[in-house]
Every structure is written in structure tokens, then in C-alpha cells.
């Protein structure tokens, strides 16, 4: 979808918006930060830069990090890359960590927890380090379809699975024991898709939005039902 013309800012307008907080900022400085790869403004057909509000916020981040934390551009660029991939950058560089993202209500997964997660992008090493998994365990999980790489990175769902498996391994549970979880999840997904099919067949935006909401609601309810059944089974008289 094209962005309306006035959604873009010229380099002069960006300069004006930044000067209140950064009196020493210049057009040359903005151009330098672009040449260093810290921002990537689009260009008009005639070659003029056009900045989005996202570009403006990235510039603010860079300038604040330089002024208040005295961070070198190399570290700032690494931090921006971490933010772009859904990670929480270390304050002074170093290892970035995943940001928590699962929403709960009274300890249960809320519908919002089932919104599509596309922000986080982890390398294999980052996934292993953040989850505590061994590489051999990850290989096994991938072979069973419990974790899948998307493009060249792993997403937030892969991290959630990896963390859970790493903790379960402390009780002697191995990835091969978890194939039934994947089968059960696939059946639940099939049921949800069956329910939302009447909405997805419609082409209007309202039906699409309704399908997304119903999908999240049923997913939340299915997890709550699963938890209740497990809790009931564990607490039954013996």
C-alpha cells in the first residue's frame, strides 16, 4: 500500500523536528548517519530524500545514544539491528536478549498472545543461547517439526518452544517424547481453520478482521481448556 505524500518528511523538516532536542544537528550529520547505514530514507524519482516517522525515531535513538550513553556508531548500529529483529539490545553493547511478548490473563494465555509474531528474528546461535538448548536438541526438534526456521532466522514462537523444551529436558523429557504435542496442536489448528473458513472465503476487510479475532479467541480458549483438562487429570483421586 502506498504511503500518502505528506506522510513523508523532507530532510529540512527532519532537521527542524530534531533541533529542539539536538541543537547541534545538521543536514551533513543526517547524511553521514545515512552513509553509515543507521537510517535508510527512501528517494523521490528526482533523488530527494523522503523520511518516514520511523526514520525520525531511529535518528532520535541514534542521537540520544551518542549524547547520553556515549555509544560508538558500531554499537548503536548493532542495537538498532537487535531492535529490528525483536530483541532487547544490551545498554552498552554485547549480547542482545529477547523481549518478553506473551500476553496473559489470570495466568492463562490471552487472545492477544496468539497474534502473528513476525518481529523477532534470531540466528541459530542466538536461539541456542537464549533458550539454553543444545544444538543436538535443536536438530532433533527441527526433524520432528516442533521448530522451523523462517528464511534465515527463528521467530518468537521458535524461542518459546525452545525454552519450554530446554526446561522440560531437566526432567528427563527428550524432544522425541514431544511429538504428540505437535500432533495435538495440528489437530487444534485444523479445528480453528474449520471454524474461520466461512470468514476467510469472504473478500472484504471486515470478514478478514473477524477471522483474525475469532482465530485468536478460539486459540486462547483451546489452551485454557487443555490446561484445565491436564489440571483436572492430575488432581483426580487416586
Whether 80 and 61 have beta carbons less than 8 Å apart is answered as yes
Q: Given this model, what pLDDT does residue 112 score?
A: 60
- Specify the pTM: 0.57
pLDDT in tens, 102-134: 444 445 566 666 666 556 888 999 999 989 999
Q: Given this model, what pLDDT does residue 97 score?
A: 55
Whether 119 and 157 have beta carbons less than 8 Å apart is answered as no
Looking from the CA of 135 toward its CB, the CA atoms found within 13 Å total 4
Q: Which three cell numbers stand for residue 86?
A: 525483536
User: Where is the domain boundary, 97, 117, 135?
Assistant: 97
Category of 107 on φ-ψ map: left (φ > 0), alpha (ψ -120 to 50) or beta? left
176 and 64 within one domain: no
Partnered with residue 9 across adjacent β-strands are 51
* Low-confidence spans in the chain with pLDDT less than 70: 1-6, 90-119
85 and 112 within one domain: no
224 and 135 within one domain: yes
Q: Given this model, what pLDDT does residue 220 score?
A: 85
Q: Tell me how many domains the chain contains.
A: 2
Q: Given this model, what pLDDT does residue 133 score?
A: 94
114 and 78 within one domain: no
pLDDT in tens, 144-175: 999 999 888 998 889 989 999 999 999 999 99
78 and 19 within one domain: yes
Q: Given this model, what pLDDT does residue 89 score?
A: 75
Domain containing residue 44: 5-97
Q: Given this model, what pLDDT does residue 6 score?
A: 55
Look-up of cell digits 547505514: 37
User: Where is the domain boundary, 81, 97, 113?
Assistant: 97
48 and 25 within one domain: yes
174 and 137 within one domain: yes
Amino acid at each position: 500500500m502506498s504511503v500518502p505524500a505528506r506522510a513523508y518528511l523532507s530532510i529540512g523538516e527532519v532537521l527542524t523536528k530534531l533541533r529542539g532536542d539536538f541543537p547541534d544537528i545538521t543536514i551533513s550529520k543526517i547524511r553521514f548517519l545515512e552513509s553509515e547505514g543507521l537510517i535508510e530514507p527512501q528517494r523521490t524519482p528526482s533523488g530527494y530524500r523522503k523520511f518516514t516517522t520511523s526514520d525520525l525515531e531511529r535518528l532520535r535513538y541514534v542521537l540520544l545514544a551518542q549524547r547520553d550513553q556515549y555509544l560508538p556508531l558500531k554499537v548503536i548500529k548493532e542495537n538498532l539491528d537487535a531492535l529490528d529483529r525483536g530483541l532487547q539490545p544490551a545498554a552498552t553493547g554485547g549480547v542482545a536478549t529477547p523481549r518478553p511478548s506473551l500476553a496473559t490473563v489470570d495466568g492463562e494465555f490471552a487472545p492477544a498472545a496468539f497474534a502473528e509474531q513476525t518481529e523477532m528474528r534470531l540466528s541459530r546461535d542466538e536461539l541456542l543461547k537464549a533458550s539454553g538448548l543444545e544444538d543436538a536438541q535443536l536438530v532433533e526438534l527441527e526433524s520432528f517439526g516442533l521448530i522451523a526456521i523462517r528464511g534465515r532466522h527463528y521467530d518468537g514462537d521458535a524461542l518459546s518452544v525452545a525454552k519450554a523444551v530446554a526446561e522440560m529436558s531437566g526432567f528427563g523429557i527428550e524432544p522425541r517424547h514431544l511429538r504428540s504435542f505437535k500432533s495435538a496442536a495440528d489437530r487444534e489448528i485444523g479445528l480453528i481453520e474449520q471454524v474461520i473458513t466461512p470468514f476467510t472465503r469472504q473478500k472484504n476487510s471486515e470478514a478478514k478482521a473477524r477471522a483474525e479475532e475469532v482465530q485468536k479467541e478460539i486459540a486462547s480458549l483451546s489452551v485454557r481448556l487443555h490446561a484445565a483438562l491436564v489440571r483436572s487429570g492430575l488432581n483426580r483421586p487416586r
